[in-house]
Chains A and B, each alone.
Chain A
Amino acid sequence: MAITLNVNGKRRSAPAASPDTPLLYVLRNDMEINSCKYGCGVAQCGACTVLMDGRAIRSCVTPAKSVAGAKITTLEGLGSAEKMGVLQRAFVEEQAAQCGYCISGMIMTAAAFLDTNKNPSEEQIRGALAGNLCRCGTHSRIIKAVQRAAKEMSA
């Protein structure tokens, strides 16, 4: 049974996936989307975060079929290397990555958060990212990047 999803504004189908295949693997393997990452597989780290109708979800524990009617957005949907989105640019400006494996999840979580909070305090940003783990200690730069993006978005 083929799975058809709306990903980054396009209808994409994954003929070989089964309905209970986690969204993460459908995105990464069937649709060749690199950004969302396997980190823990049990919704603990945030590396696999994508947007479902604008809400941040953990694709590692989301069966693909359960999002069939929704709009899925991944990091690729925010901008490309040639034309980066505001958050992506802010992360480059702040050089807010060491290894960067957590960064797609950070940006997607921040994207959903900034959508509902245009003028967040530092504490609110920290709270919004509390469920995302970074092992490299890049936190302070990630906070700065989100602050920068928030400013730019409201400017």
Chain B
Amino acid sequence: MSAATSLKSKSRRSFLQQSAGLTIGFSLADPLALAQDAAKPAPLPGSLQTNRMLDGWLRINGDGTVTMMTGKIDLGQGITTALAQIVSDELDVDYKRIKIISGDTALTPNEGVTSGSLSIQDSGTALRFASAEARDILMQAASAKLGVPTSEMTVEDGNIVTAAGKRVTYWEMADAGLLKREATAKVKPKPVSAHKLIGKSIQRRDIFPKVTGGVAYVQDIRMPGMLHGRVVRPPSPRAVLLSVDLAKVKKMPGVVAVVRDGSFLAVACTREEQAIAARVALHESAKWQEKGDLPPPGAALFPHMKKQRTNDTVVSQKTDAAAAASAAKVIEASYTKPYLAHASIGPSCAIGQFKDGKMHLWSHTQGVFPLRNDLAKMLRMKETDIVVTHHEGSGCYGQNGADDVTADAALLSRAPELKGRPVKLQWMREDEFGWEPFGSAMAISMKASINAGGKVVDWNHELWSHTHSTRPYDPDGCNLLAAWYIADALKPGPSRNIPQPSGGSDRNSVPLYVFPQQKVTNHLLVDLPLRASALRTLGAYANVFAAESFMDEVATAAGADPMEFRKKHLTDPRALAVIDAVVAKSGYQAGAKSGDGKSGRGFAFAKYKNLAVYVAVVADIEVDRASGEISVKRAWAAADAGLAVSPDGIKNQIEGGLIQSTSWTLHESLPFDEKGVKAHTWAEYPILRFPEVPVVDVTLINRPEERPLGVGEGSQGPMAAAIANAFFHATGRRIRDLPMTPERVKATLA
């Protein structure tokens, strides 16, 4: 995920909290460090730095409510609930009084993209300081009004009360424009001990409409006069539209407009099923010239990737010639991970309205401002003439079709026949499978040497991957699908890698183990024939799968138990502690043999990004040797996410990761050939179903003295490796290519 704004103050102490399944972090800037020279604006904490006005974050309303505005958005992780908890505590108002506005280019601060577990760090920190300061300003105003010093006043739920019983409410001061000023961040937020809501698992607000049929998603929004739209995508990437019978389709029932712009085709109708029918008719009549320039599918993909143009970086290097010279044995292995789809359950959707030269879009994008920037480029409009309002969609797990469907709706909404009417455009299932940006395939080569004492003396991790981030707002291109197909086409931005320490394709490629000599090399493929972008964990899933499978292989070569072998190479006490915890909970027996060729137990460990949550996993699997099916029966995880304020919330995240990773690891691989993507329905891209879901058990190590760490992406990598290691434990054979399908299992066992 993209590295969003990070706190830049020189000195800071940070503490973070968990709430409602989220990692929420605050960074308290040292007030002295904030007192910079007057010429430059003083640095402010979190997103206050880039959005400095208090009334850009908070509004006190005369009706007894508070409006909280954030540039971050809910993606099914409940972030806005957590942000409202912060405002409630710092401002001393009941949580129920808080109205939330999130992600709107016209109304909220610009906080870039919601990604990388940074929402609480960026927005939470800003809201925390803004709320503390707002409370102080309101107290000062009350003090002036009542003639009582603030030290003799208390606030409860927006009521400021003096010791003598005089009172004034926030709401009475609503119109005074008190918050129309730049933040100073000089009012210290409350200490952890004074928190009432922060740190509690409260019920997420967004769940109520979701279980009762409220307007919960952009898909549910209805507007007066709204039309229904569909887009008609080419049969394969970069195909050119040669001809299409627009006149015929225009005569179909309910068709209001058909838009053709170069090779972009879309239709707007009165009714949704009419739009679907018109889309089918357009597909049938359209003639395309296809390129057929995708890479070879299947096993041939990976040698092909290694022959492409790359930008090479040595991500990490340590040299110790003496240690390396003591090598007694060399072990090598190669691993692969296919392209994965985000495969959101609900296909992407957006509403567009073009009226009086202004464009308004409702979108489940992860970044309303970055999206607007690319939309302006594509539409050749001024950014100030475009408003993008966020509304939730189906879970995205990174960059799905959200931004692209918004671009489609924008192009369709400009059709003159619409006369300013809004149009809701939802992708069909096959549009989502065919055109979302995928998680890149990766090839990884590992090589290690061990000495006579069974210790690793040299470690090499070399990876080949496409980029893991092609989000909108690229300075050198336009990263919206439709923009590449319109007559006046734009080019996508170049392939870029997110730099270390978090990394992109090289995320988690640098070992946490202590090896005397090591080298990690990232080969970033320059060309991007099959579009790829951010999918949950970016490169970490494949890198941890490879490195943690390989650790087992090296342990086997050293004749050691894999879990004990890891401990021998670790010094970080928190890493050791999660390993011990999962061993205790699962009853892992070092050196235990499986024996029956069918059931096995695997172990794996990682610290996500080398910066976030520590997770150790033990998985028990059963292999049906006849059918080739692997069934993951149980999985135990132990996690250390620092201060665990909402233990249940963290557990939920870790659990979800274990389950999603089981699906990726056993089932998922994007089918395609040289001409195009071959997944159209769930039949071609099966995912995990209820009967296959492992029973999961999560142990949490709470460290109240430590900064909380992001948890949402921590368990996927270790889970994949634990399954692979369990397969080896069960069968004595190793699967190094994902996914572990029945065919592959049978071939491996043959």
Using CB atoms and an 8 Å cutoff, list the residues of chain A in contact with chain B.
16-18, 21-22, 25, 28-29, 32-35, 37-42, 44-45, 47, 74-76, 79-81, 84, 88, 91-92, 95, 97-104, 107, 123, 125-127, 129-141, 143
Using CB atoms and an 8 Å cutoff, list the residues of chain B in contact with chain A.
20-21, 75-77, 201, 203-204, 206-217, 219-220, 222, 228, 270-273, 343-347, 392-397, 426, 428-429, 648, 652, 655-660, 663, 681-683, 687-691, 693, 695-696
Would you give 24 A-B contacts (Cβ < 8 Å), ordered by A?
A25-B273, A34-B215, A34-B216, A38-B426, A39-B347, A42-B429, A75-B211, A75-B212, A84-B211, A91-B211, A95-B201, A95-B203, A95-B648, A95-B652, A99-B76, A99-B394, A99-B395, A104-B213, A126-B691, A135-B660, A137-B660, A139-B659, A140-B659, A141-B652
Say whether A44 contacts B681, CB under 8 Å.
yes
Say whether A100 contacts B343, CB under 8 Å.
no
Say whether B203 contacts A92, CB under 8 Å.
yes
Contacts of A28 in B (CB 8 A): 272
Say whether A100 contacts B76, CB under 8 Å.
yes
Say whether B690 contacts A98, CB under 8 Å.
no
Say whether B204 contacts A95, CB under 8 Å.
yes
Say whether A97 contacts B76, CB under 8 Å.
yes
Select which of A130, A135, A140 is within 8 A of B655 by beta carbon. A140
Contacts of B215 in A (CB 8 A): 34
Least CB separation from A107: chain B residue: B211
Q: In whole angstroms, what is the CA distance A35 to B429 when docked?
A: 18
Say whether A35 contacts B213, CB under 8 Å.
yes
Q: In whole angstroms, what is the CA distance A97 to B429 when docked?
A: 22
Top-4 shortest CB links A-B: A99-B76, A99-B395, A100-B210, A137-B659
Q: How far is the CB of B564 from chain A (nearest CB, A)?
A: 30
Contacts of B203 in A (CB 8 A): 92, 95
Q: How far is the CB of A1 from chain B (nearest CB, A)?
A: 13
The CB with the most chain A CB atoms within 10 A, among B273, B392, B696, is that of B273
Say whether B272 contacts A98, CB under 8 Å.
no
Say whether B213 contacts A97, CB under 8 Å.
no
Select which of B345, B652, B655 is within 8 A of A47 by beta carbon. B345
Least CB separation from A127: chain B residue: B691
Least CB separation from A46: chain B residue: B345
Contacts of A17 in B (CB 8 A): 271
Contacts of B214 in A (CB 8 A): 34, 81
Select which of B77, B681, B693 is within 8 A of A98 by beta carbon. B77
The CB with the most chain A CB atoms within 10 A, among B211, B217, B659, is that of B211
Given A45-B682, A135-B395 in contact, is the A100-B207 Cβ separation under 8 Å?
yes
Contacts of A134 in B (CB 8 A): 345
The CB with the most chain A CB atoms within 10 A, among B217, B395, B428, B429, is that of B395
Say whether A137 contacts B394, CB under 8 Å.
no
Contacts of B220 in A (CB 8 A): 34
Say whether B395 contacts A98, CB under 8 Å.
yes
Say whether B212 contacts A101, CB under 8 Å.
no
Q: In whole angstroms, what is the CA distance A32 to B380 when docked?
A: 35
Say whether B207 contacts A92, CB under 8 Å.
yes
Contacts of A40 in B (CB 8 A): 429, 681-682
Select which of A39, A91, A102, A137 is within 8 A of B207 by beta carbon. A91
Given A35-B213, A95-B203 in contact, is the A140-B696 Cβ separation under 8 Å?
yes
Say whether A47 contacts B346, CB under 8 Å.
yes
Select which of A22, A35, A127, A137 is within 8 A of B656 by beta carbon. A137
The CB with the most chain B CB atoms within 10 A, among A40, A104, A107, is that of A40
Contacts of A104 in B (CB 8 A): 210-211, 213
Say whether A135 contacts B344, CB under 8 Å.
yes
Say whether B659 contacts A38, CB under 8 Å.
no
Least CB separation from B220: chain A residue: A34
Q: In whole angstroms, what is the CA distance A131 to B20 when docked?
A: 29
Say whether A133 contacts B212, CB under 8 Å.
no
Least CB separation from A134: chain B residue: B345
Select which of B208, B426, B659 is within 8 A of A92 by beta carbon. B208
Contacts of A132 in B (CB 8 A): 690
Say whether B207 contacts A101, CB under 8 Å.
no
Say whether B682 contacts A44, CB under 8 Å.
yes
Q: How far is the CB of A97 from chain B (nearest CB, A)?
A: 5
Contacts of B270 in A (CB 8 A): 16
Least CB separation from B712: chain A residue: A98
Contacts of B429 in A (CB 8 A): 39-42
Contacts of B426 in A (CB 8 A): 38
Say whether A97 contacts B211, CB under 8 Å.
yes
Q: How far is the CB of B248 from chain A (nearest CB, A)?
A: 20
Given A126-B691, A133-B682 in contact, is the A81-B428 Cβ separation under 8 Å?
no
Say whether A44 contacts B271, CB under 8 Å.
no
Contacts of B20 in A (CB 8 A): 95
Contacts of B347 in A (CB 8 A): 38-39
Least CB separation from B341: chain A residue: A135
Q: In whole angstroms, what is the CA distance A34 to B683 when docked?
A: 26
Select which of B271, B346, B397 is within 8 A of A101 by beta carbon. B346
Given A38-B426, A129-B690 in contact, is the A135-B212 Cβ separation under 8 Å?
no
Q: In whole angstroms, what is the CA distance A62 to B688 when docked?
A: 26
Q: In whole angstroms, what is the CA distance A48 to B396 when docked?
A: 19
Least CB separation from A40: chain B residue: B429
Given contacts A29-B222, A45-B682, A101-B344, 9 further A-B contacts (CB under 8 A): A16-B271, A32-B222, A37-B219, A40-B682, A99-B392, A126-B690, A126-B693, A131-B689, A141-B652
Contacts of A25 in B (CB 8 A): 271-273
Q: In whole angstroms, what is the CA distance A79 to B76 when docked?
A: 22
Q: How far is the CB of A84 from chain B (nearest CB, A)?
A: 6
Say whether B213 contacts A139, CB under 8 Å.
no
Say whether A98 contacts B76, CB under 8 Å.
yes
Contacts of B219 in A (CB 8 A): 37-38
Given A45-B682, A84-B212, A126-B691 in contact, is the A101-B222 Cβ separation under 8 Å?
no
Contacts of B397 in A (CB 8 A): 135
Q: How far is the CB of B699 from chain A (nearest CB, A)?
A: 15
Least CB separation from A122: chain B residue: B695
Q: How far is the CB of A77 from chain B (nearest CB, A)?
A: 9
